[in-house]
Amino acid sequence: MKKSKRWTIFVSALALTALCGGAALAASGDQNDPLVTLSYLNQTVVPDIVKQVETKASARQTELAKNLSDQITQYRQDTANGGGSGTAGASYTLVTLTSGQTMALDVGCEVMLRVGTAKVNAATSPALIDVSTGGSINSGTGLTKNHLYMATIADRTITPTAATVKLLVRGGYSVA
């Protein structure tokens, strides 16, 4: 009989544990501690997140398209005005100067004389760095054809000494 009494106590303890565990599991899904299911995530949360991302991406795309359009419009206006100014870019632009015009170079602007003759003007030395030779040139010095020059200080200008001068330019400049 002792064996059946132990067995009854063991079964009772097991049943009590199962009931307490079931009650704890049933209580975990109330309003204060909601139970999240995979179907809730797939049907509600993920679509909401995707919608928010798409909205923000669309707004950013619209902003970038407007920015690009504004830059293209500005470039076309500059080009229509005789190429009077340039901005930093990855490629070279062919610029033609005539007698009486002056090209002001921004810091970092690169220039290569291709046709004609021109000189550089600056208040301080060096006027330009000759990238081709690794040297520098001073104010009033003529540019050598097919040498690449760089403006490393502000207020550097190039003046043509021939009727027509053609330069390859990369970087910011303005023509007056």
Q: Are 175 and 102 in contact (CB under 8 A)?
A: yes
In a domain, 96, yes or no: yes
Residue 62: give the domain boundaries. Answer: 48-80
SS3 call for 96: strand
| Span 74-120, pLDDT tens digits | 877 776 655 555 554 568 889 999 999 999 999 999 999 999 999 99
- pLDDT for 39: 84
Structure-block tokens of residue 126: 């060096």
Q: How confident is the model at residue 30 (pLDDT cuts 50, 70, 90)?
A: low
Final residue belonging to a domain, choices 80, 96, 122: 80
> Do 71 and 97 sit in the same domain of this protein?
no
Contact 165, 75 (CB under 8 A): no
Q: Are residues 75 and 90 in the same domain?
A: no
> Under 8 Å CB-to-CB from 119, ≥6 apart: which residues?
140, 141, 142, 143, 158, 159, 161
Query: Which CATH number belongs to the domain containing residue 90 in this structure?
Result: 2.60.120
- Answer yes or no: do 68 and 133 share one domain: no
Q: What angle do CA 108, 110, 115 make, to 5 degrees?
A: 160
Q: What is the pTM of this model?
A: 0.51
